[in-house]
A and B are shown apart, each in its own frame.
Chain A
Amino acid sequence: MTSTDDLIHSLASTAGTRQRGASLQAAIAVTGAASLACALLLVFSVFGIRQDFADMAVRMPFAFKVAYSGALVAGASVVALYAATPGASATALYALSPAVLLLACGVIFDPTGFPIMGRTDTAVAICVGRILFLSLPAMMLTFVFMRRSAPTQPLFAGAVVGMLSGSVGALAYALACRNDGTAFVAIWYAAACAIMAAVGAIVGHRVLRW
């Protein structure tokens, strides 16, 4: 009893020391922006953007890539916020539906007719590998965010962290990706996110306890 009262007294003595305004929404926005900046920096410095960028940027495939990975980033951010907040409503999971819808549309109504495995034999391995590489800094930053908030399901929170960082990597990689098939993009960008989610779940299970 007395030790609990002592504890309460010492906790209460630090009342009001946390800065207000640093809400979780703001924190994840900053984290996302920083992650994207890191990923873009890596794209420019390591891979370089496509040579025909100006021509490509106004066409449908590029718009699809950006819309799809953008929807993934937005959806995963909302779900990450849900995973980070105790007692949040699970309706946040619906935020992923636009991305799922785009994935389905991209696979079913592929107007480009490019093969699903990409233009070359190694396209899948290269694309997925590069997205994984680009999402590494995002993963570190997002884990920092997640550790500072209060995830009550470490495994799930870790998976969401991985997914968010994977989609950030995919969004950045859209500038460099040479494969324009929407089915290719829909499937293999999602596969990269899934791999990152699995990694994140394993890491999160260990790292996200508090």
Chain B
Amino acid sequence: MTVEEREQRWAEAMRAERRGEAVAYERMLKEVATALRRSLAPRLVRVGFGAHETEDLVQEILIGLHGKRHTWDPARPFLPWLHTITRYKLIDFMRHRRRDTRRRVDLPLDDWLEMVDPPADEAIRSTWEMDRHLAVLPVSQRKLVRAIAVEGASVRSVAQELATSEGVVRVTLHRAISRLLEAADATPTIKPCSRSKHDEHR
């Protein structure tokens, strides 16, 4: 269908609508919807919208056409009138969607503060800090300290789990603890104290 034929066909249908001929009007709206869908879909796909959005926009335009149909002067061509409405609705649609997107993916200041602030809850804070301290240990020692000192497992069960002897576990634990104390820059009085305790236990 050429542009002239389409112009004539749709303008005639618009005149028919004013006479109350719903069938001709409905057929025209369907043709308009098909044409709009075909021309708008690639345009919207290019900016990241899918078939769903295209359908929304097509409906918006049809509603606009219907609501403002009295502003079309039958003495004047129909297609330029429809083009202006389509363009207006397309721009409006894009603007709205962009605003929606911004709101959906927005990072409000409160959320940002939550992200950079350490957890306020006391329990969470202590494990968070503990993890920070344990980070100075090698992975094997860290696992062991967490199992015994944090989760409260017995030396025996840890040794079984790691398939080693209890002695190795004990030695590793003590090494880890002294390392932690060093890292924490503990005062010299504490260090010998723990050492001596360690010796007593032996």
Contact = CB atoms under 8 A, between A and B. Distances in A.
Contacts of A7: 59, 62-63
Contacts of B58: 4
Q: State the main secondary structure of chain A at its contact with B.
A: loop
B104 interface: no
A209 to B, nearest CB: 7
A210 B25 contact: no
Given A15-B21, A86-B84, A209-B92, A8 B29 contact: yes
B18 A16 contact: yes
A23 interface: yes
A22 to B, nearest CB: 7
Q: State the main secondary structure of chain B at its contact with A.
A: helix
Interface stretch (B64-72, B134-142, B164-172, B185-193): B64-72
Given A87-B83, A152-B84, A11 B63 contact: yes
A16 B19 contact: yes
Interface string B152-171: 00000000000000000000
Contacts of A12: 22-23, 25-26, 29
18 contacts: A4-B33, A4-B58, A4-B59, A7-B63, A12-B22, A15-B17, A15-B21, A16-B18, A16-B21, A18-B18, A20-B18, A22-B70, A24-B73, A85-B73, A87-B82, A150-B68, A150-B85, A210-B67
Interface of A: 1, 3-5, 7-9, 11-18, 20, 22-24, 84-87, 149-150, 152, 209-210
